[in-house]
Amino acid sequence: MKRAPIYSRTARKQRSRGEPLSAPESRPQAAPSPAPTAPRPKRFVRSRAFLTRHERLLLMTVPVLLCVLLFLAYSSLAPIERRFTQRDIDAAVLHTLENNMLPSQEAKAYARIRPSVVRVVQEGEQGGAQKGLRGVGTGVVIIDKGVILTNLHVIGTDDKTRIKVHFANGHESDAIVLRRQPENDLAVIQAVSIPDDLVPATLRSTQGLAVGDKVVAVGYPFNIGPSASAGIVSGLKRTYVSPRDNEILRNLIQFDAAANPGNSGGPLITMSGEVVGIVTAILSPHEQGSFVGIGFAVPIEIAAAAAGDSPF
């Protein structure tokens, strides 16, 4: 009897032909289960919850903190401002004084009054045979229209006398007499023509003026000038008797700044350059009338009133 073949022919035929055998059916495998994740720490959960709850507040606070940090960083890098002490200031002032020659009070006072001071020249009679220089004095401009204060004895009492004034910038002009006040030896004159840059003087009341205050007399002594001489107020409310005509002048300012013939009619000024008086006389035992240390000035209140335009 033939034995039944263990393998089928068909399989043998396919194998003989070189065809691959079909793989046996594999059993379906179950998908691998994911690895268990570690539980998150409770601190991280709390932080995240805190950030979620306060998100808006943090968005507002963080920029402010950044600005504060930037400001602190800038402040730490910025140069430290040095605060000057009184010792530093004193040292700087002392250094300036030692290395720079500053103008004196007298020099500054003179510079301020200089544009207002004029030389007053009394010449011979107008249209007459007597011509030439008869006298020189000083005047001070008190109104910018060319109104000038001076002494009566500088211009004389004769209306026929010709008067000329010389301004600080060199301008020359004839002048006419507006008013005379013999009791105070004062005269007010008006320049016929004036310079464009004419500067009137600043007047200051003598109220508050004290003995010992510094003053400067400005004028043309002996036709030399303009000249300045410094001194102090030696007395107030003095009386002076003129040796020319025994005229008594009262309520005068006494000063010791050098004054000589030609200073008459000039301003007596303070250290701020303000006019407190009009130089009118000197007390001298010599016939030449040279200065011995006592001069007199009419207070500016009286002089300005003579001009009819007193600010006091």
**pLDDT tens readout for residues 223-273:** 998 999 999 999 999 999 887 777 899 999 999 999 999 999 999 999 999
Partners of residue 249 on adjacent β-strands: 240
The span from the CA of 303 to the CA of 277, in Å, is 8
Instruction: Examine the domain organization and report whether 222 and 187 are in the same domain.
Output: no
Residue in 116, 227, 264, 284 annotated catalytic:
264
Mark whether 33 is an active-site residue. no
Q: Is 171 a catalytic residue?
A: no
Q: Which of 153, 227, 229, 234 is catalytic?
A: 153
- Which of 23-32, 48-57, 63-72 is predicted least confidently? 23-32
3-state secondary structure (DSSP) of residue 83: coil
CATH number for 263: 2.40.10.10
d(CA 304, CA 214): 22
Please check whether residues 218 and 302 belong to one and the same domain. Answer: yes
> Is 191 within 8 Å of 148 (Cβ atoms)?
yes
Q: SS3 of 143, please?
A: strand
Contact call for residues 264 and 153 (beta carbons, < 8 A): yes
> From the candidates 166, 185, 229, 256, which is the catalytic residue?
185
Q: Rounded to whole angstroms, how far apart are CA atoms 173 and 164?
A: 6
- 133's tokens: 């220089």
Number of domains in the chain: 2
Q: What is the pLDDT of residue 76?
A: 75
What single-letter DSSP state applies at residue 99?
A: H
Residues 114-126 pLDDT 10s: 999 999 999 876 5
Residue 270 lies in a domain: yes
What global pTM score does this model have? 0.69
User: How far is residue 300 from each of residues 75, 127, 184, measured CA to CA in Å?
Assistant: 61, 35, 11
Assess whether 166 and 236 both reside in one domain.
no
Q: How far apart are CA 203 and CA 186, in angstroms?
A: 16
Place of tokens 């073949």: 5
Domain end (from 159, 191, 223): 191
264 is known as an active-site residue: yes
User: Which domain, by its residues, includes 246?
Assistant: 214-306
